[in-house]
Amino acid sequence: MIVKLLNHPDYTKKEKLLWGLFVFGMANRYQLAEMLNCSVHNVDRIIKEWNRKLPQTDRFILARRPARDQPRMYYLGPRGWDLVTEWMEENRRFFGKKKRRAGHYRGVTEIFLRLVRRIGYRELPERLVWQSEYEAWETILYPWSLANAERWKDPQVRDEEQQLLTRPDARAIVNGLPYWLEYDHDTKREAPMKEQLRRYIESLAYLPPYVDVHHPVVWVVPNERRRRELKKWWSVVRKEPDYQELDLIPEMHFFVQGEETNFLLKKEIQQTG
């Protein structure tokens, strides 16, 4: 969605900045400048224009500083959220953004921007589709909603079972090839990480092959130690007894941040190599 919107002729850069924050959750001024293909000065000016003469707690765009040595992370306030959902003609509940999640949002946005740098703005609309966390979850939810149409008429059952589905950080289609994307900020312990890996199996492996969800899962992590940990935990989870009879165990790949770009562009590498 975001690639199409960033290139949409009916939206100004000022409006596209709101779209960027809506899709990525949080981003700093440098990331927003790169996203919009403009200067950091222009980003600062646009944010001031949106918030002009508004009280600090009721602005279109709010900000949090994760740490003293890190740039502010911007996110939509209730005004900005309501405006974007009005453009979309959808009614979605507003959620604020916590400071401790800033590193996670920054990491996901950087995965997108590394692809932008490699592909280039001119070719981006033809070569990259990027879906937000919500859009990625909708893609997984859809076949389950069809399979459970009768049972999910009970709102309690529906809500409980939807909570069990995995929620990827994003879904990217790069040169026609789809991937689920996860950024792990090295904050979760072994037990919850193993549970997150199990949710991928349980959300994807029980769906038939013709359902368009059986994509590789690309994990991006901050350092080599964390990459080895996740790879080790996955090797344990995928061999658990409950999953031995399954034919469609998800394909998992683990990368230190920055190394995933070559893998995502592997079709380009094969064509030019």
- Which residues make beta-bridge pairs with 217? 180, 252
**CA gap 76, 25 in Å, rounded:** 8
Residue 205: predicted pLDDT = 94
Output the CA–CA distances (angstroms, integers) from residue 220 to 34, 109, 119, in the order listed: 20, 12, 19
- Mean pLDDT value of segment 15-32: 97
CATH class of 132-272: alpha beta
pLDDT band of residue 100 (cuts 50, 70, 90) is confident
Q: pLDDT tens digits, residue range 163-221? A: 999 999 999 999 999 999 999 999 999 999 999 999 999 999 999 999 999 999 999 99
Helical ranges in the chain per DSSP H: 2-6, 13-24, 29-36, 40-51, 78-88, 102-119, 124-127, 133-147, 155-162, 190-204, 224-237, 260-264, 266-272
Residue 55 tokens, joined: 């009280």
Residue 267: predicted pLDDT = 55
pLDDT greater than 60 at residue 271? no
Distance of CA 217 to the CA centre of its chain: 12
**CA gap 192, 185 in Å, rounded:** 13
**CA gap 75, 258 in Å, rounded:** 24
Domain 132-272 in the same topology as domain 2-106: no
AA letter at 86? E
Residue 19: predicted pLDDT = 97
Q: pLDDT tens digits, residue range 41-53? A: 999 999 999 999 9
- Mean pLDDT value of segment 105-119: 97
AA letter at 45? R
Rounded to 5°, angle at Cα 215 from 213 and 221: 125
What value does the mean pLDDT of the chain take? Answer: 93
- Which residues make beta-bridge pairs with 173? 129, 178
Q: pLDDT tens digits, residue range 219-241? A: 999 999 999 999 999 999 999 99
Q: Which of 68, 66, 61, 69 has the alpha carbon at shortest distance from 25?
A: 61
Q: Look-up: residue for tokens 């959620």?
A: 95
**CA gap 17, 60 in Å, rounded:** 11
Half-sphere exposure of 75 (CA within 13 A, CB side): 21
121 Cβ contact partners less than 8 Å away, ≥ 6 residues apart? 37
Kindly tell me the number of DSSP H helices and DSSP E strands found in the chain. 13, 8
What kind of architecture, by CATH, is found in domain 2-106?
Orthogonal Bundle (1.10)
In this structure, of 86-90, 106-110, 179-183, the range with the lowest mean pLDDT score is 86-90
**Based on the number of CB atoms within 10 Å of its own CB, is 13 exposed (0-12), middle (13-18) or buried (19 or more)?**
middle
Distance of CA 68 to the CA centre of its chain: 26
Q: Where are the domains of the chain?
A: 2-106, 132-272
CB 109 within 8 A of CB 89: no
